[in-house]
Amino acid sequence: MEDIPDDESWKDWFERHGPKLLLCARQWTRSLADAEDVVQEAFVRFWRRQRQLGGSAQALLITSVRRAAIDLARRNARRGVREERTEGALESTGPVFETPLEGDDRRQAIESALRQLPAEQREVLVLKIWGELTFGQIAAQLGISPNTAASRYRYALAALRETLTAADCHG
């Protein structure tokens, strides 16, 4: 994802980068619909107010998506408590990846392996792979050192490799 040229429309830019932002947002939300809402809210906020700020458009937008997802999670948590009091049930968590390949064993194995990662490692992995951020940018966004971000990334990759290798051997 690169900075936005002055002559490019928001529609063109979003068409090229929206799917990546959606995948990134999906890691922080409970459903595809929530991820779509988060990306839309973050993108509108970014395009109207933040794109003129200095720095990387990519980093600013990923930060905006993450903040919108956190805001949504907080709203959902508050609503969930209210609903639980009245109905006694919360909405179940959907799959991490929404794809038409419901029978795809490899996708299911990857999704399961991602869910097994500690939240801190999964978040760094998402920002690095899908957000295409540097360890410095990840560190600034999460309030950790670049070395900690790099370590969490390495640990996440090692854990995924181990889990998926074991699944391949037993599958």
Per-residue pLDDT of the chain (171 residues; tens, 9 = 90+): 445 555 567 788 788 878 888 888 888 888 889 989 999 888 888 877 766 666 777 778 888 888 888 888 888 777 766 666 655 444 445 555 555 544 567 777 777 888 888 988 988 888 888 778 889 988 988 889 999 999 999 999 999 888 888 766 765
CA pair distance 13, 140, nearest whole angstrom: 25
4 in Cβ contact with 57 (< 8 Å): yes
What pLDDT does 88 receive? 46
Residues 8 and 68 in one domain: yes
Residues 2 and 75 in one domain: yes
Domain span at residue 69?
1-94
Residues 23 and 90 in one domain: yes
Structure tokens at 152: 């969490």
CA pair distance 78, 76, nearest whole angstrom: 5
Residues 88 and 5 in one domain: yes
Instruction: Tell me which amino acid residue 137 is.
Output: Q
Number of domains forming the structure of the chain: 2
Question: Which of 94, 117, 135 finishes a domain?
Answer: 94
Question: Which of 33, 67, 94 finishes a domain?
Answer: 94
Residues 9 and 68 in one domain: yes
Question: Which of 70, 94, 118 finishes a domain?
Answer: 94
**Alpha helix locations (H) across 27-131?**
32-45, 57-86, 105-116, 119-129
167 in Cβ contact with 110 (< 8 Å): no
Residues 78 and 111 in one domain: no
* pTM (whole model) above 0.75: no
CA pair distance 8, 65, nearest whole angstrom: 21
